[in-house]
Amino acid sequence: MSLRALSVVSEAYPLVKTGGLADVAGALPAALKPYDVAVTTLIPGYKKVMKALQRGEILHTYPDLLGVEAKLIAGTAGGLDVIVLDAPELYGRDGGPYLDPTTGKDWPDNWLRYGVLGRAAADLAEGRAGGLGVDIVHGHDWQGALASAYLHYDGSAVPSIVTIHNIAFPGWFPIETFAHLGLPQRAYSIEGVEYFGGVGFLKAGLHTANAITTVSPTYAEEIRTKEFGMGLEGLIKTRKDHVFGIVNGIDTNVWNPATDPNLAAQYDARTLHLRRQNRRMLEKIYNLAEGFGPIFCVISRLTTQKGMDVLADLTDDLVAMGGRLALLGSGDTKFETAFIAASNKHRGKIGVTIGYDEALSHLMQGGADAILIPSRFEPCGLTQLYGLRYGCVPVAANTGGLADTIIDANDAAVNAGVGTGFLFNGVTRESLTTALQHTITRYANRKVWKSLQEQGMRADCSWTKSGRQYADLYRRFAKAGSHAVAASAVHNI
CATH number at residue 382: 3.40.50.2000
Q: Residues 153, 55: one domain?
A: yes
Q: How many domains does the chain have?
A: 2
Determine, yes or no, domain membership for 191: yes
Q: In this predicted structure, what is the pLDDT of residue 1?
A: 58
Q: Three-class SS of residue 62?
A: strand
- 192 lies in the same domain as 276: no
- Whole-number Å distance between alpha carbons of 311 and 373: 10
- What DSSP string runs through 208-272? H-SEEEESSHHHHHHTTSHHHHTT-HHHHHHTGGGEEE------TTTS-TTT-TTSSS---TT-G
Q: Are residues 341 and 470 in the same domain?
A: no
pTM for this prediction: 0.89
Pair (315, 394) in one structural domain:
yes
Residues 353 and 394 in one domain: yes
Annotate 380-443 with three-state secondary structure: CCCHHHHHHHHCCEEEEECCHHHHHHCCECCHHHHHHCCCCEEEECCCCHHHHHHHHHHHHHHH
Note whether 245 and 289 are same-domain residues. Answer: no
Same domain, 168 and 51: yes
pLDDT at residue 483, rounded to an integer: 36
167 domain-assigned = yes
- Residue-level pLDDT at 104: 85
- How many whole angstroms separate alpha carbon 4 and alpha carbon 240? 26
Residue 473 and residue 402 share a domain: no
So what's the pLDDT on residue 491? 41
Q: What is the DSSP letter of 492?
A: -
Averages of pLDDT over runs of 10 residues in the chain (493 residues) are 93 93 94 96 98 95 98 97 98 93 93 98 94 92 98 96 96 98 97 95 97 96 95 95 95 95 98 98 97 95 97 98 97 96 98 95 98 97 96 98 97 95 98 97 96 97 95 90 36 41
Contacts of 333 (CB under 8 A, 6+ apart): none
Q: Domain range holding 447?
A: 272-458
Q: What is the model's pLDDT at position 492?
A: 42
Whether 90 is covered by a domain: the verdict is: yes
